[in-house]
Amino acid sequence: MIQLLKMAFRDLGRNRRRSFFSSLALGLGLAVLLLMAAFINGEMNGAMDSTIRLQSGHLQVRAQSYDEVKTSLKWEDLVENPDQLVAQITALAPVRVATPRLFASGIASVGDQSTGVRVIGIDPLSPANAPYQEGLISGDFLTPDDREGLVIGQPLADKLGLEVGDPLNLSVNTSNGDVAQQLFTVRGIYTTQTNGFDSATVFMPLAKAQAITQTENHASTIFVLLKDKAETEAVVAALQTSSYKVVPWTKLNELIIQFEDLANSYMVIFYLIVLGVTATVIVNTLIMAVFERTREIGILSALGMKGRSILLMFLAESSLLAVGGVIIGIILGSLMVAYFTHFGFYIGKMGISGMLIGNTVYAKLTVQDTVKLTILAFIITLLAGLYPAILAARLEPVQALRGGK
């Protein structure tokens, strides 16, 4: 086998430029696939992390009858005495923070401009608000006793032409089905670098949200963040009661999980197409080598080399081309992934409805994806070299000595 590898290496060296560009084609294909895998992984992980931090938490505790789609504000659909339940949840060791939140639908208007918003009543002192506080670009965050202040996202402020200190009229649904209206003041403007969230989310203190929606001492949900996501199922089991419904992040973010599974399925097809195209370069290279070395193959056959050995020799050549292509692909792919891991790829307002995708997507390449794509590229290259190898092995010695004529 070592002798066959030496012969294969020597034969590839006869036309170094052609051999190099064959490996380069495979390397470029592999590099592109590594980058695509890193982008898909980075986008899905980023969307999941953003959704957990900003919207869903690792789990939520709700009333059994709460309807998230309708943003129900009926008292029977809300959590009563939320502070008491928060204290019980916070006592669990895996819990990092638990805080009540009240959700309501509303319409924000300035002059003749108006837009639908999601109003979230929060405890301004809770550490769970860190993403919004750290994202303040102007003004101040809310205080618990503020009855006229709001914090809004930068896209919403730009759309309505608002700055800190400007008035904003807000109409909000109430628990009895009416609409309450009040003139608020913009206390602060924030950005989480997630346009889908920032453009439609308005924050106010929980006490004010309860007052304006007539849901005194009630909350839509208890938002819970854990120290370790792996502890989710254990905490869900510990909190499970007949009075409340405990919903883990996997259930809250089913759309993202389904989309990731779908994207991975389509990416497999894309991987095969790209590697199939690059494999044709390997096929052409080896077929040309067979035609160029027909007489040499005839001589080897006449000297007693069996067809199996000739087949293995050409497979060895395709293996060497695959190894070279894989090395080039890993080097180029790693460099590209490293660049986009650090700087990211700005997509702006692009995104998918129902998913909190950040304005900038950062690549994230896993060892699993790298190994999987490397093995796939190597196998497809070997399969591509199988036809030229069989073609060479089946040449009749007499015909080969005559140059295949």
- Domain of 169 in residue numbering reads as 65-241
The residue out of 241, 276, 296 marking a domain boundary is: 241
Same domain, 195 and 143: yes
Question: Which tens digits make up the pLDDT trace of 121-147?
Answer: 999 999 999 999 999 999 999 999 999
Are 185 and 289 found together in one domain? no
56 within domain boundaries: no
* Token pair belonging to 348: 């702006």
Question: Is residue 234, in this structure, part of any structural domain at all?
Answer: yes
What's the rounded Cα separation, in Å, for the pair 182 and 166?
A: 14
69 and 39 housed in the same domain? no
Residues 149 and 210 in one domain: yes
What angle in degrees, to the nearest 10, is found between the helix axes of 307-343 and 16-51? Answer: 40
Q: What is the pLDDT of residues 58-73, one digit of tens each?
A: 999 999 988 887 888 9
Query: Both tokens of residue 312?
Result: 């293995």
User: Do 30 and 74 belong to one domain?
Assistant: no
Largest Cα–Cα separation, the chain: 98
Residue 181 within any structural domain of the chain: yes
Average pLDDT value over all residues in the chain? 86
* 286 in a structural domain: yes
Give residue-wise pLDDT tens across range 235-268: 999 998 878 999 999 998 888 888 888 887 888 8
**Are the CB atoms for 275 and 92 separated by under 8 Å?**
no
- pLDDT score for 5: 66
Query: What's the whole-number mean pLDDT along residues 388-401?
Result: 65
Query: pLDDT at position 249, please?
Result: 92
- Give percent above pLDDT 90 in the chain: 51
- Give, in order, the Cα–Cα distances in Å from 264 to each of 75, 261, 268, 277, 369: 42, 5, 6, 20, 11
Domain final residue pick, 195, 218, 241: 241
Residue pointed to by tokens 């090395």: 327
| Residues 99 and 206 occupy one common structural domain | yes
Residues 232 and 297 in one domain: no
Residue type, 220: S
Tokens of 393: 């092995």
Whether 39 and 111 map to the same domain: the answer is: no
pLDDT at residue 18, rounded to an integer: 81
> What integer is the mean pLDDT of 366-390?
87
Pairwise pLDDT comparison (389 vs 119), residue with the higher score: 119
Radius of gyration of the chain (CA): 31
Give 75's DSSP letter.
Answer: G
Confidence category of residue 297, pLDDT binned at 50, 70, 90 = low
Bigger pLDDT: 346 vs 225 = 225
- 354 has pLDDT over 60: no
* Residue 274, token pair as written in the block: 């790209």
User: Which pLDDT belongs to residue 270?
Assistant: 84
pLDDT tens string 152-170: 999 999 999 999 999 999 9
Closest CA to 362 of 346, 384, 375: 346
Q: Pick from 204, 236, 215: which is nearest to 82 by CA? A: 215
Does 46 share its domain with 107? no
Other residues' Cβ atoms within 10 Å of the Cβ of residue 99: 24
Residue 58 counted as domain residue: no
Asked whether residue 111 is domain-assigned, the answer is yes
pLDDT at 106 over 80: yes
Residues 229 and 336 in one domain: no
Higher pLDDT, 15 or 27: 27
294 & 363 share domain: yes
Contact 172, 147 (CB under 8 A): no
Looking at residue 350, its pLDDT comes to 56
Dihedral class, residue 57 (left if φ above 0, else alpha if ψ from -120 to 50, else beta): left
Task: Indicate whether 10 pLDDT > 80.
Answer: no
> What's the structural domain count of the chain?
2
Residue 59: inside a domain, yes or no? no
* Residue 172 domain flag: yes
pLDDT at 173: 92
- Same domain flag for 161 and 31: no
The last residue of a domain, from among 216, 241, 266 = 241
pLDDT given at position 8: 64
pLDDT of res. 231: 94
